[in-house]
Amino acid sequence: MPTWRPGPEELLRVFDEQNPWHRTGEVPDVLARTTERALARELWRLLIGARLERYQLVLGPRRVGKTTAMYQTVRHLLAAGLSPAQLWWLRLDHPLLLREDLGTLVRSVLAGAESTEPIVLFLDELVYARDWDLWLKTFFDDRWPVRIVATSSATAALRDRRIESGVGRWTEQFLTPYLFTEFLDLLGRGPRLEVGRTLAETIGALPGRVPDEDMVSALRRRYLLLGGFPELLATERERVGTDEVAWLLESQQVLRSDAVERAVYKDIPQSFGVDNPMMLERLLYVLAGQVTGILSAAKVCQELDGLSQPTFDRYLNYLERAFLVFTLPNYSGPEGGTQRRGRKLYFVDGAVRNAALQRGLAPLENPVEMGMLIENLVAGSLHSLAILAGQRLFHWRDGKSEVDLILDHPTEPLAFEIAASPSHSRQGLRALIERHPRFAGRSYLVAPRTSTLSATEGTSGIGTLPLDLFLFACGRQAEAALSARLATLT
């Protein structure tokens, strides 16, 4: 029997449902919140003007607001004077749209569009379209009258062949989970900081102490459980008179269902063809128990009886590409290459780790676990900054000496040891400076309840930073890096 395919009438009905501004001229408020991240404030500028721009692929974990940022971009374009008939939205995981190739869908849009100007296409969940990379290459090379913004919850270069297709044709924009500063902005308590050219400059201008330290510390602890997911954070702002414990537990269930289970059982199998998603889920749970530690493939495979080393490497790669975890190589200096051995493991957002293990509120009462989550929070903030600023993030380990995090910059590198107390040992930082003198005057102990001391003034070139001030600096620096990155493309 021939496979049923939607006719023109069915496609037009779906298009009408997904593009309400064609009827009203406006984006409904329920689709585009008023609070915007830096990406939404700037992305629309890349889509106007006479020049043929590269396509924009917005990548990031589930529930970080990729779709919302695109709806906000539609709103900006309407405000800039573009006709609603120029702006078309296709949610490509729709059951009817899944039955057509991307070329057929775009031809249908062009046939139905009442516009003489290029169409701006918003393709939500791009990787659900068959041969999406080849179609984007065709649209660009053959100069179809379209400009494209697309989202995906897995990296665009899902297979090696997609790298070639994307060269010169599209640019990847990463939308990371909300940073701690963005969370505070949502609550109307965001800090104002003087942001320098680099993180080192920003750190150099920090005040001595955290303003409203007790309040900020309490909000940070809550943020550790909620994570940087805008729907949950917006609910935090609106929550009044509800049972806090029940609400936090419910938020973790939402994360477990959407950020973990959908990624493991839907996104990754769809993108990579995983034949054993249950083993993938088990691997994620084992990794969650080893967060901030040195990754041992042999130990993981031993714990997961039946998991081979090649499968471990492949599955870990999938989890990284789905923005659930990331690993940091061991720093070997400007003269050395990247070391694959001795990688350190982190979750892109520690709240996902808590949700995966169903930890509830337990981390708040466990100092060891809270210490791991704080280190993961700092690592995640620096990881976001590194992605947006085009820098590299490492850890360092040499024998018994180690340093948690190293942000490698050509002229202003920084090293950070994350601790629960200002009295924490500085032995690892001293060893790093002895081995790599470029970190003298650029190394810091980061801890709660301490004061700012410049590394150039500290003993042996080591300074101190209050944890929350450091998170403020990372957040504001990352936002500035994204704005600068987008400005160079306009």
CA dist., res. 152 & res. 266, Å (int): 13
Residue 404, judged by CB atoms within 10 A of its CB (0-12, 13-18, 19+), counts as buried
* 311 or 269, which is more confident: 311
Give the pLDDT band of residue 120 (cuts 50, 70, 90): very high
Q: What is the pLDDT of residue 485?
A: 84
CA dist., res. 10 & res. 105, Å (int): 12
Count of CB atoms within 10 A of residue 253's CB?
12
- pLDDT reading at 5 higher than 70: no
HSE, side-chain direction, 13 A CA sphere, residue 282: 14
Average pLDDT over residues 123-135: 90
The CA-atom distances, in angstroms, between 327 and each of 65, 78, 163, 201 are 24, 41, 22, 27
Residues linked to residue 146 through DSSP beta bridges, in sequence order: 119
Average pLDDT over residues 405-429: 95
- pLDDT reading at 244 higher than 80: no
Residue ranges covered by each domain of the chain: 8-174, 180-487
- pLDDT reading at 354 higher than 50: yes
Please write the tens of the pLDDT for every residue from 96-113. 998 899 999 999 999 888
* 155 or 480, which is more confident: 480
Average pLDDT over residues 223-252: 70
Average pLDDT over residues 210-229: 87
* 254 or 474, which is more confident: 474
Q: What is the 3-state secondary structure (H, E, C) of the chain?
A: CCCCCCCHHHHHHHHHHHCCHHHHCCCCCCCCCCCCCHHHHHHHHHHCCCCCCCEEEEECCCCCCHHHHHHHHHHHHHHCCCCHHHEEEEECCCCCHHHCCHHHHHHHHHHHCCCCCCEEEEEECHHHCCCHHHHHHHHHHCCCCEEEEEEECCCCCCCHHHHHHHCCCEEEEECCCCCHHHHHHHCCCCCCCCCCCCHHHHHHCCCCCCCCHHHHHHHHHHHHHHCCCHHHHHHHHHCCCCCHHHHHHHHHHHHHHHHHHHHHHHHHHHHHCCCCHHHHHHHHHHHHCCCCCECCHHHHHHHCCCCCHHHHHHHHHHHHHCCCEEEEEECCCCCCCCEEEEEEEEECCHHHHHHHHCCCCHHHHCHHHHHHHHHHHHHHHHHHHHHHHCCEEEEEEECCEEEEEEEECCCCCEEEEECCCCCCCCHHHHHHHHHCHHHCCCEEEEECCCCCECCCCCHHHEEEEEHHHHHHHHHHHHHHHHHHHHHCCC
Q: What angle do CA 106, 109, 110 make, to 5 degrees?
A: 90
Q: Please choose, from the candidates 179, 166, 152, the residue with its C-alpha nearest in 3D space to the C-alpha of residue 267.
A: 152
pLDDT above 70 as % of the chain: 90
Q: Is 8-174 CATH 3.40.50.300? A: yes
CA dist., res. 374 & res. 368, Å (int): 10
Q: Please choose, from the candidates 392, 412, 413, 381, the residue with its C-alpha nearest in 3D space to the C-alpha of residue 337.
A: 392
Q: What is the pLDDT of residue 171?
A: 87
The CA-atom distances, in angstroms, between 445 and each of 205, 458, 479 are 17, 10, 24
Give the pLDDT band of residue 161 (cuts 50, 70, 90): very low
Q: What is the pLDDT of residue 488?
A: 76
- pLDDT reading at 264 higher than 70: yes
**Phi then psi for 445, rounded to 5 degrees?**
-95, 125
Q: What is the pLDDT of residue 165?
A: 61
What is the overall mean pLDDT for the chain? Answer: 87
- pLDDT reading at 230 higher than 60: yes
Q: What is the pLDDT of residue 446?
A: 97
Please write the tens of the pLDDT for every residue from 31-44. 988 888 888 888 89
CA dist., res. 345 & res. 327, Å (int): 5
Give the pLDDT band of residue 356 (cuts 50, 70, 90): confident
Q: Please choose, from the candidates 479, 473, 404, 469, the residue with its C-alpha nearest in 3D space to the C-alpha of residue 443.
A: 404
Could you tell me which residues come within 8 angstroms of residue 164 by beta carbon, excluding any fewer than 6 positions away? none
CA dist., res. 447 & res. 441, Å (int): 18
Q: Please choose, from the candidates 173, 176, 152, 153, the residue with its C-alpha nearest in 3D space to the C-alpha of residue 381.
A: 176
Give the pLDDT band of residue 86 (cuts 50, 70, 90): very high
* 163 or 47, which is more confident: 47
pLDDT above 90 as % of the chain: 54
Q: What is the pLDDT of residue 281?
A: 92
Please write the tens of the pLDDT for every residue from 276-305. 899 999 999 999 988 999 999 999 999 998
> What is the separation, in whole angstroms, between the first and last Cα of the chain?
51
Q: What is the pLDDT of residue 469?
A: 95
Token pair in block for residue 210: 């955290």
- pLDDT reading at 2 higher than 50: no
Give the pLDDT band of residue 1 (cuts 50, 70, 90): very low
